[in-house]
């Protein structure tokens, strides 16, 4: 088994910088997820690791081995793509064993690996079928099985679930996470879906325009985003943002959001005092905006008068879209709430969970 190291890796496509000075260490047996919007450089990073793209600057190591000039077939990696790329004229068994056959692996060893991998994935009964006889979820498992039989040091997965429907994606996420635990191998996974990233990764690397924004555990990214972009990208629905200024009155410090203000908790005073009289960006997640009639225990509420624009009943909660004269935001209310469209409603902001960012740099103010 082996970890992976990117050291100051840069990739250009003409005048476009696809990946800029990427440095990250992936520990042995870790499940790292690259996440970000389309065009952020996540797939390019994976393809450089696989050897499918040459790097322009920097170094990539698998374990202690420098692989910049090592052909893809000799890097001891296996890759699962968005397109499953199964051979339509071959059975599932032959699709899974074809790469081993090309490497002249003995027939008995191929049979052992294919049957073992099929058992892990629950597709033993499909080995005699051809791809056209399989569902999307079954094809996805075959593509993963084809990678497993290689017994590589590193698994690379490039949006392997994007062709599945919502229910199958949830199921497949769990299967891949279990597979990582069983195999004890390094997994590097690319997705634009932050829900996949949050539920699967031991760590998440957030990319934007080819630049690494932050890498940390899912909970740390959620609780302590390093900048406005990470705060808005991680979490679903995304964080509410308000342009504000920091003011002080009678010893209390407020974030003045133009048509309402919120009282900042005592523990935030020292960090924001240098910003008194300055513009900042205030962030608060929808799950931290409540109906004051049904508040969860332990919140520190600041009440904001607003108008209800839209409600979405989700069963276990109600998504409520609210507005003031200058701000629009969303809260997630207790299902017992009595809100209706058009009514005036007081929303309870849990200021203990508030995020504040420098207006110019967009970096978090700790």
Going by C-alpha positions, the residue among 9, 11, 12 that lies closest to residue 21 is 9
Residue 1 has pLDDT above 80, yes or no: no
Confidence of residue 161 (pLDDT cuts 50, 70, 90): confident
Write out pLDDT tens, residues 137-154: 888 889 888 888 888 899
Region 285-310: mean pLDDT is 95
Domain 4-233: homologous superfamily in CATH: P-loop containing nucleotide triphosphate hydrolases (3.40.50.300)
Quick one: DSSP state of residue 144? Answer: H
Question: What does pLDDT average to over the chain?
Answer: 92
Of the two residues 203 and 169, the one the predictor is more confident about is 203
Contact 242, 329 (CB under 8 A): yes
Q: What CA–CA distances, in Å, run from 61 to 7, 30, 75, 260?
A: 8, 15, 10, 52
pLDDT of residue 249 exceeding 70, the answer is: yes
pLDDT tens figures, 53-86:
999 999 999 999 999 999 998 998 998 888 778 8
Measured between alpha carbons, how far is 45 from 90 in angstroms, rounded to an integer? 31
Q: Write down the CATH superfamily of domain 240-358.
A: Nucleic acid-binding proteins (2.40.50.140)
At 172 the pLDDT is 82
Beta-bridge partner residues of 302: 349
Q: What is the pLDDT of residue 30?
A: 96
* Residue percentage of the chain with pLDDT more than 70: 100
What is the rounded (10 degree) CA torsion for 256, 232, 357, 260? 0
pLDDT single digits (tens) 8-56: 999 999 999 999 999 999 999 999 999 999 999 999 999 999 999 999 9
Burial of 104 (0-12, 13-18, 19+ CB in 10 A): exposed
Q: What are the backbone dihedrals phi and psi of residue 207, each rounded to the nearest 5 degrees, phi first?
A: -115, 150
- What DSSP string runs through 72-131? GGGS-EEEE-SS----TTS-HHHHHHHHHHHTT--HHHHHHHHHHHHHHHT-GGGTTS-G
- The answer to whether the CB of 85 falls within 8 A of the CB of 96 is no
Tokens of 167: 């229910």
| Two structure tokens written together for 127 | 């080995």
pLDDT at residue 122 in the model: 86
Q: Nearest to residue 138, comparing CAs of 149, 122, 151, 150?
A: 122
Separation in Å, CA 330 to CA 117, 130, 309: 45, 48, 10
Using the CB atoms, write b or e for 189-202: b if 16+ within 10 Å: bbbbbbebbbebbb
Two domains, one topology: 4-233 and 240-358: no
**Residue ranges of the domains in the chain?**
4-233, 240-358
């Amino acid at each position: 088994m082996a970890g992976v190291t990117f050291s100051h890796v840069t990739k250009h496509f003409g005048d476009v910088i696809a990946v800029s000075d990427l440095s990250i260490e992936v520990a042995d047996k870790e499940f790292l997820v690259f996440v970000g919007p389309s065009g952020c450089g996540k797939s390019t990073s994976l393809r450089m690791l696989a050897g499918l793209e040459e790097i322009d600057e920097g170094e990539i190591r698998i374990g202690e081995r420098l692989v910049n000039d090592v052909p893809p077939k000799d890097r001891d990696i296996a890759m699962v793509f968005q397109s499953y790329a199964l051979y339509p004229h071959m059975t599932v068994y032959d699709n899974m064993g074809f790469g081993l056959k090309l490497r002249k692996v003995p027939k008995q060893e191929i049979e052992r690996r294919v049957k073992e991998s099929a058992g892990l994935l629950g597709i033993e009964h499909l080995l005699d079928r051809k791809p056209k006889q399989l569902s999307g979820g079954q094809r996805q498992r075959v593509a993963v099985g084809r990678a497993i039989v290689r017994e590589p040091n590193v698994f690379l997965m490039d949006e392997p679930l994007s062709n599945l429907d919502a229910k199958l994606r949830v199921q497949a996420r769990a299967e891949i996470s279990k597979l990582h635990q069983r195999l004890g191998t390094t997994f590097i996974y690319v997705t634009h879906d932050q829900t996949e990233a949050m539920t699967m990764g031991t760590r998440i690397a957030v990319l934007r325009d080819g630049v690494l924004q932050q890498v940390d555990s899912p909970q740390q990214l959620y609780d302590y985003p390093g900048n406005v972009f990470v705060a808005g990208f991680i979490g679903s629905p995304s964080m509410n943002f308000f342009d504000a200024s920091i003011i002080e009155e009678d010893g209390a410090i407020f974030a003045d959001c133009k048509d309402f203000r919120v009282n900042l908790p005592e523990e935030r005073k020292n960090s924001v005092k240098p910003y008194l009289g300055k513009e900042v960006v205030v962030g608060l997640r929808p799950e931290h905006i409540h109906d004051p009639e049904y508040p969860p225990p332990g919140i520190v509420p600041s009440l904001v008068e607003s108008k209800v624009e839209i409600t979405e009943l989700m069963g276990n909660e109600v998504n409520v879209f609210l507005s003031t004269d200058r701000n629009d935001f969303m809260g997630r209310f207790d299902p017992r709430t009595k809100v209706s469209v058009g009514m005036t409603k007081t929303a309870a902001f849990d200021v203990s969970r508030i995020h504040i960012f420098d207006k110019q740099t967009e970096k978090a103010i700790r």
